[in-house]
Amino acid sequence: MTAYTAYAKKVFLGRSAYRFDHLMSILSTVLQFFIFYEIYRALYGGEDKVDGITMSMVTTNFVLSLGLGTIFSPDDYFLPNKIWDGSISTELLRPISFKGRMIAENVGNSAFNIIFKFIPVLIIAVLTTGVQAPADAPHFLLFLISAVLGYGVLWTISFAVQMTAFWLVNIWSLITIKNVFVNVLSGSMIPLWFMPEWMQGVLDLTPFASIYFTPVQIYLGQLSYGGIAVKCAIQIVWTVLIYLIGDLLWRKGQRKLVVQGG
């Protein structure tokens, strides 16, 4: 465990060294939020509620989704880069789990993003827009638990996509497709409240809605405790299922791996 903690700490300190990049990231996230905010405010046309969905609910969805997206941000090129430059052969000889290192470095990156990106953006959003408070303390606690489970879903999707790098020369297109599906079907860009009712039912069963929209629903108190249990169970099932798929590709990929050069 000490080795994985060291990797997480290394990433955290490494990110801290690039202050200008950090400031630009905050500015980019803030601009992204306000662009979406202004677009939806124009669509609402001065109305406070459309089809039962208030502007403050939409605002809260954007703040939480963008915030969680900023915190999570798995490195989709962690494995592909090491396959491309041949360093994967050295990495596999290390006396620690490669997958454990992937998670540790992601945790270090997430810790940095929480402190230096999410909190500043959250403060700006709360002071300038109508972000709702959580329904109550129990729902906030369950929101945090669901957010961690959502992180598990997103990380395993990234993990499974990265494993295809053992067979494909370049997985940029797959990563792009994955990001489009996550951004659109998770409720991050378009809140799922605005989707047709039949589509909401379908998306609720996919891994994408489990990433951001489920935590948002819990935060706003839209789900009963029974509904929360079902949604969290869906998050766990998808995390385990996608991880098993990625792990199968990982084991098969190692047997296929051929590294040229040195």
Tell me how far CA of residue 112 lies from CA of 9, 63, 81, in angstroms: 10, 18, 22
Of 124, 145, 168, the residue nearest 218 (C-alpha): 145
Contact 207, 242 (CB under 8 A): yes
pTM here is 0.90
Please report the pLDDT score of residue 258 as a whole number.
Answer: 63
Contact 87, 258 (CB under 8 A): no
Burial of 192 (0-12, 13-18, 19+ CB in 10 A): buried
- 84's tokens: 């491309």
CB neighbourhood size of 205 (10 A): 12
Please report the pLDDT score of residue 262 as a whole number.
Answer: 46
Q: Are strands 53-54 and 49-50 parallel, antiparallel or unpaired?
A: antiparallel
Per-residue model confidence as pLDDT tens for the chain (262 residues): 688 888 888 888 887 777 777 788 778 888 888 888 888 888 888 788 888 889 889 989 988 988 888 888 889 999 999 988 888 888 888 888 888 989 999 988 888 888 888 888 888 888 888 788 899 999 999 999 999 999 999 999 999 999 999 998 789 999 999 999 998 899 888 889 988 888 888 988 899 999 999 999 999 999 999 999 999 999 999 999 999 999 999 999 888 776 555 4
Contact 37, 59 (CB under 8 A): yes
Q: Tokens 């080795």 map to which residue?
A: 3
Contact 83, 166 (CB under 8 A): yes
Please report the pLDDT score of residue 259 as a whole number.
Answer: 59
- 68's tokens: 């969680």
H or E element in which residue 54 lies: strand 53-54
φ/ψ region of 90 (left if φ > 0, alpha if ψ in -120 to 50, else beta) reads alpha
H or E element in which residue 117 lies: none
Q: Phi and psi at residue 75, in whole multiples of 5°?
A: -80, 100
- Report helix, strand or coil for 53: strand
| Domain ranges across the chain | 2-256
N-term to C-term CA, the chain: 30
Contact 175, 161 (CB under 8 A): yes
